[in-house]
Amino acid sequence: VSFSDVLYGYDPFVESLIKALTSEGIFVAQVGAASFLDDDPTLDKADSVLLQFEKRLEKFGAISMTSYTESHGEFTMPWAFNVAFMGYESMANWHMEEAMVNLVLGGRAVTTKSGEFPFKYVDGGTVMDYQYPSRIEETLYCLQEPKPQPCIDHPVRGYNPDIPNIPATELEMRPSTIPNAGRGVFYK
């Protein structure tokens, strides 16, 4: 039995983590190496330490959970993280736009002597990568049996030409009218 099995499977420990957070707190846990597409989604995960840990977080008050993958840690492979939200405001803050994240970070940072942005490894662009699970995690999640309800309700992620929205024939690629903005996809 590994140390993590005992720790994350122990109600008093998980409860103490949750009680240490405010009503809008966020708990981030590094949960091991990231998944690969050839991982077996049919394995029974009901007894896995990670699934039991997630259930305990929900039991003690987490209202929502997500995951993200970090590949810049200079390990041999990307690492997976799970995120538990204690409130709706913390979820909204997690999903802020890039410019807003930069504004909030800048407002909370201590001014450096050089006047440069004080965070070397975190900015709005980095945080944007953390907002949603990786495509691999979503794919493996949707390959489970029985198929999870979100995968039935929304079977395709991203642009789907079969879902009526704006017909692709109404879009065009052209230079932006904004100086130095480059090219983009625009409505005709």
pLDDT tens digits for range 99-113: 999 999 888 888 889
Please state, in angstroms and rounded to a whole number, the distance separating the CA atoms of residues 35 and 13. Answer: 26
Angle between helices 11-19 and 49-59 (to 10 degrees): 50
State the average pLDDT over residues 83-92. 93
DSSP 88-122: HHHHHHHT--HHHHHHHHHHHSPPPTT-S-S-SS-
pLDDT for the residue 184: 86
Task: Tell me how far apart the alpha carbons of residues 96 and 26 are, in angstroms, rounded to a whole number.
Answer: 14
Whole-model pTM over 0.85: no
Per-residue pLDDT for 87 more than 90?
yes
